[in-house]
Structure 1
Amino acid sequence: MATRDVEVRRSRRRRRTVSAYRDGGRTVVLIPASFSAAEEARWVERMLTRLERGDTRSALGDEALAARAARLSERYLGGHARPSSVRWVSTMEKRWASCTPTDGTIRVSDRLRDVPTHVLDYVLLHELAHLLVAGHGPAFWRLLGSYPRLERARGFLDGLAHASGMPPSEEPEGPSAGLDEG
């Protein structure tokens, strides 16, 4: 295996789980603080192998990303969200994705190329919903309500943002945000 830029982050809150992600040219591996040096080395190697396997899968290009968005629109939004383009961009530093409803374009940060499928699907669905509803009010969250892994994907992105030093999300805390209690 080639030499890699690997950062290991230990956490006292983490008990058994290990995770890893790419951050630019660096790989970040998150492990429990209680791991021995041997356990750390074993898990780093295991996670690097797992990420490399994912890297060798055919990279999801712009056309495949647009096709994925079209399938998500059909499945969860009745096909009503029809973007004019969906593409990867490398210029986003403070957002995962953005949408311009006036011209129907969706841009997704290439930092999300290695996230689990359900997370990428949530990000795409989130931007597709903005083609139909501006803002993050109750109508917006109703559109996303049928996505089964909504909260898991949001949690993953919150953790990724925290780990990579991004500012916290400024959007409401999900489907119940802004709903009247009475």
Structure 2
Amino acid sequence: MTNTKTLTRKNIQTLSGGRTASIVEIDGEEIRLVASTRRAKTISATMLDDMIQLSVPEFISDEHIIRSARGLMSKIKNRQHHGDKAPSDQDLMDRALHLAKVWLGDQVEPSSVVWSDNQTTRWGSCTPSTKRIRISTMLRGMPQWVIDGVLVHELAHLKYPGHGKDFQDFTHRYPRMKEADAFLDGVSFAQHQIGKESPTHG
């Protein structure tokens, strides 16, 4: 068990969006710690490249991090052990329609939304002419609010093909869009560091 109330950070890296990544050890296990000046209070955890990644506010005590990490690490390991049922294409479609109604004023409606194993260089893609949206299976297991951010991004392309100001204003109706983008930037950076091709938004 980690008895100390302080963490020793190694492999410290500066990321975009006011974030810093490092490797720390909690209860004998190495985890990736991503501290963000933009994150207010919440702490979240996900599994990335066989290592738990903990996202925390920049100004938070190590004691709080350690205490929170133990519970989150346990939940992730239990989820992996029991193998949660992956959401289906229908679940994804239903979620997209819900997001379009709540945040995009029902101004867009996809014809289909499916998981795609072929989306290895993009988190998602959209074909406005057919209104079809494909979401990378690499997102499975990530926090729902991150997946929601990608869904809103692709839904917005049904109204705005490019990434101009109108598109940005439309997507940022979803209140956690900046946070979702920052999270995915961190994932892409980590994958780039280990030599993997980094996915981008479509």
Query: After TM superposition, is the score higher than 0.5?
Result: yes
Equivalent residues of 1:21, 1:27 under 8 A apart:
no
The aligned counterpart of 2:51 is: 28
Equivalent residues of 1:96, 1:108 under 8 A apart:
yes
- 1:158 deviates by 0.2
With normalisation by structure 1, the TM-score equals 0.70
- Residues 128-147 of structure 1: pairs in structure 2 closer than 5 A: 128-147=155-174
Q: Percent sequence identity over matched residues?
A: 35
Q: 2:75 aligns with which of 29, 37, 50?
A: 50
SS in structure 1 of the partner of residue 85 of structure 2: coil
Equivalent residues of 2:113, 2:132 under 8 A apart:
yes
The aligned counterpart of 1:11 is: 11
> Structure 1 residues 52 and 88, CA, compared in 2 at 3 Å: closer, same or farther?
farther
SS in structure 2 of the partner of residue 103 of structure 1: coil
- 1:110 deviates by 0.5
Structure with the larger strand share: 2
Q: 1:102 aligns with which of 121, 129, 133?
A: 129
Equivalent residues of 2:123, 2:199 under 8 A apart:
no
Question: How far apart in 1 are the matches of 2:92 and 2:201?
Answer: 25
- 1:47 deviates by 6.2
2:105 is the alignment partner of 1:78: yes
Q: Which runs of 4+ in 1 moved over 3 A?
A: 13-23, 45-49, 52-58, 166-171
The alignment of Structure 1 onto Structure 2 pairs a total of residues equal to 151
Question: How far apart in 1 are the matches of 2:72 and 2:149?
Answer: 24
- 1:164 deviates by 1.2
SS in structure 2 of the partner of residue 136 of structure 1: coil
With normalisation by structure 2, the TM-score equals 0.63
The aligned counterpart of 1:156 is: 183
- 1:97 deviates by 0.5
Equivalent residues of 2:47, 2:53 under 8 A apart:
no
Deviates most, 85-94 or 122-131: 85-94
Equivalent residues of 2:123, 2:150 under 8 A apart:
yes
Question: How far apart in 2 are the matches of 1:59 and 1:52?
Answer: 16
- What runs of 5+ residues in structure 1 fail to find an aligned partner? 1-9, 32-38, 172-182
- Residues 158-177 of structure 1: pairs in structure 2 closer than 5 A: 158-165=185-192, 166-167=197-198, 169=200
Deviates most, 96-105 or 138-147: 138-147
